[in-house]
Amino acid sequence: MRGRGRPGQHDRWVAGFLLLVGLLSAFEARGLTVGELGRPGPGFFPFYLAVALSIVSVALLVRSFHHAGLEGTAAQGSGEQSGGNKIIWTLLALFGYTFALDHLGFLVATFLLMLILFRVVELRRWPAAVAGSLATSLLAYGLFKLLQIRLPPGIWGP
Amino acid sequence: MKGGDKMDLVQSVLYGFSVSLEPTNLAACFAGVLIGTLVGVLPGIGSVVTMSLLFPVTYTMSATTSLIMLAGIYYGAMYGGSTTSILVNVPGEAASVVTCLDGHQMARRGRAGPALGIAAFGSFIAGTFGVVGIMLLAPPLASIALRFGPPEIFGLLILGFTMVTFLARGSKLKAAAMAILGLFLGTVGLDPIVGTPRFTFRSVTLMDGLGLVPLIMGLFGVAEVLLNIEQGLQQGVFETRIKGLLPTRQDWKDSAGPVARGSLLGFFLGILPGMGTIIPSFISYGVERRISKHPEKFGAGAIEGVAGPESANNAATAGSMIPLLTLGIPPNVVMAVLLGAFLVHGVQPGPLLMKEHPEIFWGVITSMYVGNAMLLVLNLPLIGLWVQLLKVPYGILFPLILLFCVIGAYSVSGNIWDIITMLAFGVVGYLMKKFQYDPVPLLLAFVLGRMAEESLRQSLLLSRGSLMIFLWRPLSGAFLLSALVLILLPFVVPRVKAAFRMVNQRNQP
């Protein structure tokens, strides 16, 4: 893990985040009716879960200080810059695809998604990427229609 | 057919076969095991993701047909996974990790054929044993479960959560945090008793709660793809001529014990929550090595090291059906997907399933027997084809997996926000894997959260607020006590051992 801090630090951040989630949820659950043991309300179960989550997170936080460096955290071999970039591109493409589906329709949106994945993430040459994207989007369309799977209608046709 | 209770076992089984041998169901079973073997062979696509991907396809089928197909994918993947382990030394399925150890060594020594053969035969024998086990065990268990009230269900669920946490990979504390988070995520949506919206942030989509399918696809499908993209999946088929798939007489002699022990171990371990199929295969390997007369051969191509674990993981798939079919409690993630399939068709699995839907119960169980036979016939001649498939580069597969995930998540309810949920949980799952948080406790707790809350609140209403209701009822008391023992075990055992050592040292002159 180049320049991203030591393993113990990661554990600390995650535990801190979970603690925050626990505390905010406990606060939110109090806004619903917690009730009492004899008459538990809608907030009862979530409130005590949030309290339990906060307690476990504190334990994780304490342990991260004790175990700093002892426990191997974070998957190995993840420092590659190119790998991280690929993930960001993939996620951006997928989120973009989700919103494009409604407007461009399945065929156009899928073609563009596949083009990004083949060209940018998989580093294929342009002709191969275009041909591959065209083939996969058409084949997928045919398959989904055959299997009677619901597809987003899209404003510009299928 | 008048009610399931009047049928005795033989009649029920015959009835089951009459359902599973109907042409539609037979075709569904065949499609299931074929797709299962395919994804089992391909590393990087698991049975969980495939089952959730095919979820939308099953909407148009009847409940029985769709469950037969989904179950087929599960045990089919167990068969396929071993092929990749043996030939490529990469587990096609997580449950075949341990098969790499000796299976691949056998392949390197020119014995790929017998390794593949014994994996298939062992799986078939174990699968058959498992199916018979379900037939014998499920009916009595269901009749006990019928007497469960809310306190018993709550006690059982707490024991289940404890076991899932206890058996999770890595830190138990992290697993506990994930189980609690999963329970918490399960509370999103309308309150199950009074219907108040909770944590919905005024979103109509969240009123129905978080969807099971987007959650599973995100945590297990998208997260896995992201990790593979980052790390670059290594592939390379071991080029060998596969000849003589039939094990020799000596192979059979060496494998008979491991197959029998693996079947028993796998089946009974598979029933327990959180076990899945990976742990039984590891335990079987450990047992075989310990009792072997030639433990030095293990890791260097011992056929026992393939026969035992491969039988164990197949028997475990059958065992894990029991809690779902008789209690309505999925003991692992795959069963959680099956539970989802039941619920989509408006069927609640549990003690009443056998009476109310005998065609589903017995049809699915007997179809597993039919499917196992199909796999044996299908798998051995098709191994050449599977080897060719292994040469498909991951760069072509992963865009397709992602596309299927997106469309699968969308088609469940035709809502774009389900895709967003899936992608968000994909990122969460990716980070969880990076920071070594096991997603399994989170998912199981999420699935069972509603049941846990209902049983807790109903019990408290029954007892007018006294927590003692969980202790006074013998069964729920026993469940909770077992959970407590499990929690205390890691603290107590080392101290007892240390105390014994001290006493021994003192007694020695």
A40·B402 Cβ contact <8 A: no
Do A138 and A85 share a structural domain?
yes
* Total domains in the fold of chain A: 2
**DSSP per position, B13-25:** HHHHHHHHTSHHH
A42·B198 Cβ contact <8 A: yes
Of B177, B222, B226, the CB nearest to A18: B177
Nearest alpha carbon to residue B75 among B350, B255, B270: B270
B456·A40 Cβ contact <8 A: yes
* pLDDT tens, chain B, 509 aa long: 444 444 578 888 899 999 999 999 999 999 999 988 888 888 767 788 888 778 778 878 899 999 999 999 988 888 888 888 888 777 777 778 888 889 888 888 888 888 988 998 998 899 889 988 998 898 899 888 888 899 999 999 999 889 888 888 788 899 999 999 999 999 999 888 888 899 888 888 888 889 888 898 899 889 988 888 887 765 555 556 666 778 888 889 999 999 999 999 999 999 888 777 888 998 999 899 888 888 888 888 899 999 999 999 989 989 999 999 998 889 888 899 899 889 888 898 988 898 899 999 999 999 998 998 898 888 777 877 877 777 777 777 888 888 888 888 888 778 888 899 999 999 999 999 888 898 889 998 998 898 899 999 999 999 998 888 999 899 999 999 999 998 888 778 888 888 888 888 877 65
Please state whether the predicted TM-score (pTM) of the whole model is above 0.90. no
- Phi, psi (degrees; rounded to nearest 5) at A35: 75, -165
B194·A42 Cβ contact <8 A: yes
Nearest alpha carbon to residue B20 among B307, B360, B509, B464: B360
* A64/B479 Cα distance (integer angstroms): 32
Do A45 and A13 share a structural domain?
yes
Do A25 and A51 share a structural domain?
yes
How do beta strands A39-40 and B197-198 pair? unpaired
- Any domain includes A158: no
Residue B4: the pLDDT is 47
- Any domain includes B267: yes
Q: How many contacts, defined by CB atoms under 8 Å, are there between A and B?
A: 162
pLDDT in tens, B105-137: 888 888 888 898 899 899 889 988 998 899 889
- Any domain includes A76: no
Nearest alpha carbon to residue B188 among B177, B201, B178, B198: B198
Is B433 near chain A, with CB under 8 Å? Answer: yes
Do A51 and A92 share a structural domain?
no
Q: Which residues contact A123 (CB under 8 A, 6 or more apart)?
A: none
Is B462 near chain A, with CB under 8 Å? Answer: no
What residues of chain B lie within 8 A of the CB of A41, using their CB? 194
Task: For residue B97, give its domain range.
Answer: 4-238+252-507
Task: For residue A113, give its domain range.
Answer: 81-146
- Assess contact for B86 and B387: CB atoms under 8 A: no
CA atoms within 13 A on the CB side of B161: 25
B411·A37 Cβ contact <8 A: no
- Any domain includes B246: no
CA distances from B502 to B141, B498, B506 (A): 45, 6, 6
* B497/A124 Cα distance (integer angstroms): 60
Which tokens go with B111? 């014995």
- Does the structure's ipTM exceed the value 0.90? no
- Any domain includes B183: yes
In Å, how far is B218's CA from the nearest CA of chain A?
12
- Any domain includes A94: yes
What residues of chain B lie within 8 A of the CB of A122, using their CB? 395, 399
- Any domain includes B370: yes
Do A85 and A130 share a structural domain?
yes
Of B57, B177, B433, the CB nearest to A56: B177
Is B183 near chain A, with CB under 8 Å? Answer: yes
Beta bridge partners of B189: B198
Do A142 and A105 share a structural domain?
yes
* B199/B209 Cα distance (integer angstroms): 9
* Total domains in the fold of chain B: 1
Is B434 near chain A, with CB under 8 Å? Answer: yes
B436·A73 Cβ contact <8 A: yes
